[in-house]
Amino acid sequence: MNYKYTCLNPIAAVGLNNLDDRYARTEDFASADAVFVRSAKMDEMVPGANLLAVARAGAGVNNIPHAEYAKKGIVVFNTPGANANGVKELVIAAMLLASRDIVGGIEWVKANAADAAINKSAEKAKKAFAGTEIQGKKLGVIGLGAIGQKVANAAVHCKNVEDIYRACDFITIHVPALDSTKGMINAEALAMMKTGVIIVNAARDALVNEPDMLAALESGKVRKYVSDFPNATTAGKKGCIVIPHLGASTEEAEDNCAVMAVKEMRDYLENGNIVNSVNYPACSLGPANKAGRVAICHKNVANMIGQFTSILGNAGVNIDGGGRGPAQEERRRDSRARDQVKEGGGWRHSPTRP
């Protein structure tokens, strides 16, 4: 079977090169069977009747209406962990930038570039950019996903988020932007923190109540706020170090995300397997070694499986459930996969082999 795919953002060639001649690129979103995306907003885009899956080359999926897509039978994938090291390294850089006024010092050099005696002037000016070391400080990590785990090796171990607020000199946030986490760093949370705390946000700007953050910076409660999400609230504000969303902007991270997204897409389209979906449960039967595998995306309500098998039976199609040798291993895989079919936002994905 042949497929049309489109890329809503640049996707690394090292990933797209893994698509074989059954895949043809199109610039027409409405006719695509598969979509690869990074940051493009898809909320207002109307999917075509052929669209089967969307693969996000990255972890966050707030730019994709995945709940609505589930109702249309469109599986949405992401690539958790593929860009984790890139973000982790930016977090470490953010801590260093916030501990010393490195940016201010660099800007001073630019502003005084015409000074023939800048070397002598720098010795007098440098005390204005002095700071503290990160060695011996306590680092609190909120959220232990793929990125948070990589950062956490240097972190203090606390039982809950309130302990992190009270104990840590640095706090870095690594949770998704959910209704339960949006605005979690607010005036109440900030009040619990140590005076002079440094906060790093490389997850989502919605996690921080930024007007409350600016007030905390003005009062001295927070020493520096480092954000990887530029917006009109924090850009250029005192105490804010705002980075232009560079967390995953490394060649390695972009390559890893592209390779992972293509692998997930091919496994679904060619085998009916679901790995790393955000709107359907995980389910895998292994490679489809022969024609005839059917994958059905359906609402998780009673008697659906019975209806599907009745339709196949009425059409004279037998569902293979026996055999010896290699078939036994396939049957064991079937059993394991069906054990994996569980509720995922009320949707199920039921592969079977007629």
Report the CATH number at residue 48: 3.40.50.720
C-alpha to C-alpha distance for 340 and 343, rounded to whole angstroms: 9
The structural domain count of the chain equals 3
pLDDT value at residue 15:
97
- pLDDT at site 289: 84
Report pLDDT for 109.
86
**Is 146 in the same domain as 229?**
yes
Nearest-angstrom CA–CA distance, 283 and 268: 10
The partner residues of 201 in beta bridges, in order of sequence, read 173, 227
What is the rounded distance in angstroms from the CA atom of residue 56 to the CA atom of residue 44?
17
Q: pTM (2 decimals)? A: 0.78
Judgement on whether residues 12 and 42 belong to the same structural domain of the protein: yes
Is there a single domain that holds both residue 265 and residue 325?
A: no
Whether residues 256 and 189 share a domain: the answer is no
Q: Say whether both 123 and 226 belong to one domain.
A: yes
The Cα–Cα gap between 174 and 144 comes to 7
Mark whether 125 and 234 lie in a shared domain: yes
Single out the residue in 280, 301, 333 at which a domain terminates: 280
Q: Per the structure block, which two tokens stand in for 181?
A: 């986490």
Identity of the residue numbered 179: D
- Return the amino acid letter for 14: V
> Residues 201, 119: one domain?
yes
Question: Does residue 237 share a domain with residue 158?
Answer: yes
Final residue in a domain of this structure, among 192, 223, 242: 242
- Two structure tokens written together for 195: 């005076």
Residue pair 73/47 in contact (Cβ under 8 Å)? The answer is no
**At 142, which helix (H) or strand (E)?**
strand 139-142
- Pairwise CA distance, residues 252 & 257, whole Å: 9
Same domain assignment for residues 51 and 134: no
Q: Do residue 79 and residue 122 come from a single domain? A: no
Show Cβ contacts of residue 56 under 8 Å, excluding neighbours closer than 6 positions: 37, 38, 63, 64, 76, 77, 78, 79, 261
The total of other beta-carbon atoms located within 10 Å of residue 77's CB is 28
The label of the residue with tokens 């956490």 reads 152
Say how far apart CA 261 and CA 253 lie, in whole Å.
Answer: 12
Which residues 6+ apart lie within 8 Å of 218 measured at CB?
A: 238, 239
**Domain boundary residue, one of 260, 280, 300:** 280
What is the span of the domain harbouring residue 337? 282-354
> What value does the CA radius of gyration of the chain take, rounded to a whole number of Å?
25
Per-residue pLDDT of the chain (354 residues; tens, 9 = 90+): 899 999 999 999 999 999 999 999 999 999 999 999 999 999 999 999 999 999 999 988 999 999 999 999 999 999 999 999 999 999 999 999 999 999 998 899 899 989 999 889 989 999 999 999 998 899 999 998 889 999 987 666 677 899 999 999 999 999 988 899 999 999 999 999 999 999 999 999 999 999 999 999 999 999 999 999 999 999 999 999 999 999 989 999 999 999 999 999 999 999 999 999 999 999 988 998 876 678 888 888 888 888 988 998 999 888 765 444 444 454 444 444 444 443 344 566 665 544
Instruction: Please give the backbone phi and psi of residue 222, each rounded to the nearest 5 degrees, phi first.
Output: -105, 130
Do 118 and 46 share a domain, yes or no? no
- Domain co-membership, 28 together with 59: yes
d(CA 188, CA 260): 40
